[in-house]
Amino acid sequence: MSVPTDAQRMEKIVSLCKRRGFIFQSSEIYGGLNGAWDYGPLGVELKRNLKNYWWRVMVHERDDVLGMDGAILTHPAVLKASGHVEGFSDPMTDCRTCKAHLRADQLVEKKGVKQCPNCGGKDLTETRQFNLMFETHVGAAAEEGSIAYLRPETAQSIFVQFKNILEVSRKKLPFGIAQIGKAFRNEINPRNFTFRSREFEQMELEYFCRAEEGMKWLDYWLNERLKFYENIGIPRDRLHARQVPDEERAFYSKGTYDIEYEFPFGTQELEGVAYRTDYDLLQHQKASGKSLEYFDDETKQRFVPHVIEPSAGVDRTILALICDAYAEDQVPDEKGNMETRIVLRLHPRMAPIKCGVFPLLKNKEQLVTKAKEIVALLRPQMTVFYDESGAIGRRYRRQDEIGTPFAVTVDFETLGEKDPALLDTVTLRDRDSMKQERVEIGDLPAILRERIA
């Protein structure tokens, strides 16, 4: 298997994402909106599979986690209490040569002189703080009292609804509140395709516990999250659990791990697992004047819980899945000549299309009819793609390129024309090994369900 250089590999991945309908530049026909992306027909299925599996693992399969869905528009008092209004900023500088806006930590230093990474210019403005939040106005008049913000993270809506959810659920510590949703940050310089964007989606859990158990749960959730990535097809040897040193952690954190992945453009953070102590609840309790304490029925004590936060990026995880799955194989074509096969080796549970169904010939009515019957059989249980156009080898290649793990071919054996014993059997092909086997049509749903799970 050939592996392109990292820059070439990333270029090919971006090209594939557009060519096959995974990810498009937002507003592309108008020149594009920097830092915003639209997910096409295959991308939205991949994204839905990831979010559904996260929700299944984090909420449905557990007794100690509940879900919520908070509003994107956020009251300024919430973000003032959390520290975002005053402190959610990045250091920014401008290059006077090429007019680029740059994060100060992106500058290149040569012989002790900082330079623009784009043009090499040395004429830079003084560093200043740039607030990353998107400000908007609520109501008919744009005035100071109407200011609101697009939320920069999903966590704060969980904290401000903590007491309501506690009261309606009657949960005992430890327990968590999970949320999947959009967040917005006015990044100075979005980059690396979808990795750093201005509009993105988070999968976030706030897990509330007693102070004396905080470090135990921090380690527990780190291990759980590493297992999650392995279970969606990202190998453990390409993941790194980096313990964030004291000087890099938020002042209120007692411990943080960054789960990093080896992208083609470098090793970067996929998810943070942070022990945020009781900082957020205390801040909102103080600012709102409303009690956010937990009452322990057994000890009769009231206290503000501590919290562990595993926070993952949906878009970053999608990008990691595609980067990890992308491969180029040298395989023989139908004439025996070697050709390059582009294949996405996505885990079956993540693949946008689970199975392709093909009649061997499109001008043989019985084959087409039987193939469409199989589509109708499978479609209620999984995503299926029907294709009757082109040589069967070409159809296999098209499905390999979008990550479809299985393909069913209806041929003359299916009709019993060559061997009556093979009546109502089909060829089931595996994407990764390219091996084929004969299976009964009636057994197909169960076989595929087992291999996709």
CATH class of the structural domain 6-88+133-321: alpha beta
User: 353-452: same fold as 6-88+133-321?
Assistant: no
What long-range pairs does 395-401 form, CB within 8 A, spacing at least 24? 395/356, 395/358, 396/356, 396/429, 396/434, 397/341, 397/342, 399/353, 399/356, 399/431, 400/341, 400/342, 400/343, 400/344, 400/431, 401/16, 401/20, 401/342, 401/343, 401/344
Nearest C-alpha neighbor of 278 from the set 222, 216, 221, 212:
212
How far is the C-alpha of 205 from the C-alpha of 202, rounded, in Å?
10
| H or E element at residue 215 | helix 214-231
CB atoms within 10 A of CB 374: 22
Q: Tokens 């520290």 sit at which residue?
A: 83
- Integer CA distances (angstroms), 62 to 48, 57, 161, in order: 20, 7, 20
Angle (nearest 5°) at CA 261 between 319 and 91: 85
The confidence score (pLDDT) of residue 189 equals 77
Residue 367's contacts (CB-CB under 8 Å, 6 or more residues apart) are: 359, 360, 361, 410, 411, 412, 414, 415
DSSP symbol at 169 = H
Distances (CA, A) of 308 to 51, 165, 217, 227: 20, 17, 7, 17
For residues 385 and 94, what is the distance between their CA atoms, to the nearest angstrom?
Answer: 49
The pLDDT of residue 1 is 40
* Range 353-452 has CATH code 3.40.50.800: yes
Residue 55: name the closest of 270, 220, 240, 228 by CA: 228
Answer whether 257's CB lies under 8 Å from 244's CB.
yes
Supply the pLDDT for residue 339: 86
CB 80 within 8 A of CB 287: yes
User: What are the φ/ψ torsions at residue 33 (nearest 5 degrees)?
Assistant: -110, 115
- The token pair that represents 40 in the structure block: 């096409």
DSSP string, 176-204: EEEEEEEEE---SS-BTTTTB-SEEEEEE
Q: What is the pLDDT of residue 417?
A: 84
- The span from the CA of 444 to the CA of 439, in Å, is 7
Question: Could you count the other beta carbons within 10 Å of the beta carbon of residue 143?
Answer: 9
The structure tokens 């380690």 sit at 219
Q: Go through 401-439 and write b for each residue having 16 or more CB atoms within 10 A of its CB, e for each that does not.
A: bbbbbbbbbbbebbbeeeeeebeebbbbbebeeeeeeeb
Residues 430 and 251: their CA atoms lie apart, in Å, by 51
Q: Give pLDDT < 70 ranges for the chain.
A: 1-5, 87-89, 141-142, 144
What is the model's pTM? 0.89
User: Residue 23 phi/psi, 5° resolution?
Assistant: -140, 135
CA dihedral 115, 119, 120, 123 (to 10 degrees): -60
Strands 266-277, 306-313: pairing kind: antiparallel
d(CA 354, CA 195): 26
Enter the tokens of residue 13: 């991945």
| 119: three-class secondary structure by DSSP | coil
Count the alpha carbons within 13 Å of 284 in the hemisphere toward its beta carbon.
23
Ramachandran area for residue 11 (φ above 0: left; ψ -120 to 50: alpha; else beta): alpha
Q: Are 210 and 243 in contact (CB under 8 A)?
A: no
Domain segments of the chain: what residues? 6-88+133-321, 89-131, 353-452
SS3 track for 350-393: CCCCCEEEEECCCCCHHHHHHHHHHHHHHCCCCCEEECCCCCHH
Backbone dihedral angles phi then psi of residue 380, each to the nearest 5 degrees: -65, -15
List the end-to-end C-alpha distance of the chain, in Å, as a whole number: 27
